[in-house]
Amino acid sequence: MSQLQIDIELPTGKKYRQPRGLFINNQFVESIDKKTLDTVDPSTGKIICSVYEGNEKDVDVAVKCARDCFENVWNDISGTDRGKLMYKFAELLEEHKDLLSDIESYDSGKPRYTNAIFDIEYTVNVFRYYAGYCDKTHGRTIPVGNEKFAYYEKIPYGVVGHIVPWNYPICMAGWKIAPALAAGNVIIMKSAENTPLSILKMAELFVEAGFPPGVFNVVSGHGPVAGAALASHMDVDKISFTGSTKVGQIVQQLASSNLKAVTMECGGKSPLLICDDADLDEAAKWAAFGIMYNMGQICIGTSRIYVQENVYDKFLPKLKKRVEEVFKPGDPFGKETNIGPQVSKIQQMRILSFIDSGKKAGAKIILGGKAPSGFPEESCYIEPTIFTNVTQDMEIVQEEIFGPVVTVSKFKTDEEGIFLANDTKYGLGASIFTESYKRAHNFAKKVQSGQIWVNSTNASDFRVPFGGVKITYKKEPGYSSKVIDLEVLFDFFLTSFIFLVDSISANVGFETSFF
């Protein structure tokens, strides 16, 4: 058996062959130093397998292959032909969705039937959507006078580096890959060290779809090594990063090596307001989903619930009952399981430390608060946890926990609710439950968030913008950052060249600008 492939038996008994190598130039290869990293089943704590771990030298090889492909092959392929390749890839992704869902669940702990399968189906739609953009990179003519005319074209950046998180391995990869390819770029992807398997398996489909060698490359490895090498590489033209805010700041600093463009989405602490005219049963259903889905490992998770004080006592037992009934920790491959383990032991311990912080600060736990019984000691489960009796200055209210932990507080007036919603350094998502259009629109106007949901939460669609509006915060002034918007994400992977053409002498000059 090749060292670059390994036979794996899934918990279902199904067997498949898993690639282990770095994926460079349409081939799986060993890393130069031959180092490997283990990936673990978080439901048992047992090692699934090891994959080759890339470093600076491997990243450099991948970049050189990608650059050669971009300049000599991919850049000469028409948008229409790129679209055909992407449509073919979407078909193959759909054809292999069951296996990819199995791998995603095994490697990350996602419930296979109520979570992972939808991630793959969503990614299929993302590729089909952006395949339609491939031949639509239209420029414009610009009137500048009677003797001259100007026009600009949109052109790809070139070599784009993608750094993806472990909470949505294929889904987040798809958000980055599809628009970048549609815009005509080539890609080096640094997968998350906790969840490398599904992306490596997916890489095989790029070969089967007919993509030229060098268009799509994957380097498995650790962020401080492979990720840093990619972000700082002098021949990478753009970086797209999804992950924690602290790491995002480091990535942005590293990208300054050659002033490469950076697109980032760096987490959230989303508020959910429940007004006194809301349907409380619907509010409880969505509030539970908004923080417990994907084990709370979701950047837009509504982890801060604010309930108008005159309905607080009615709402709280409804929320507790909903979480108890629907989100019981279970086997990721169980058909009724809605919540699995956290992705790793490190993540589990991090969440438990936040829970301990809340208890020490005086918050009250009305549900959960510990690792559940009945699972292997090495597993990474956390009980869905609800805190009450919290104050705004508590760590569990202000910091992104990234787990199935929610705080529930009261507010009196709409103005106070909006103030509390904005009392955070994050601005990624926010939700309100009300039967009043006036209230909803006022909330949407005044809450500092990239997206607002009314009578739902965590709603995401590949056709709809996705993005945040800050870190900006009254306690931490002086820093502001706007992040990714999927509606214009296609244009984020293009740069505009403006051509000024003298219609008399036919001399050509140009200016460049980032679009």
d(CA 27, CA 191): 16
Which three-class secondary structure state does DSSP give residue 227?
helix
| Strands (DSSP E) found in 74-118 | none
| CA distances for 371 relative to 352, 353, 364, angstroms | 8, 12, 17
Which three-class secondary structure state does DSSP give residue 129?
helix
Active site residue 377: no
Among candidate residues 118, 115, 69, 123, the one with its CA nearest the CA of residue 92? 123
Among candidate residues 391, 271, 374, 369, the one with its CA nearest the CA of residue 320? 369
Burial class (CB within 10 angstroms; exposed 0-12, middle 13-18, buried 19+) of 47: exposed
d(CA 453, CA 450): 10
For 445-454, letters b (16+ CB in 10 Å) and e give eebbbbbebb
Give 358-425 as a DSSP string: HHHTT-EEEE--SPPSSS-TTS-----EEEES--TTSHHHHS---SSEEEEEEESSHHHHHHHHH-SS
- Tokens representing 389 are 């009796």
Residue type at 439 in one-letter notation: R
d(CA 181, CA 170): 16
| Length of the chain (residues) | 515
Q: Which of 265, 378, 395, 400 is catalytic?
A: 265
| Catalytic site positions | 265
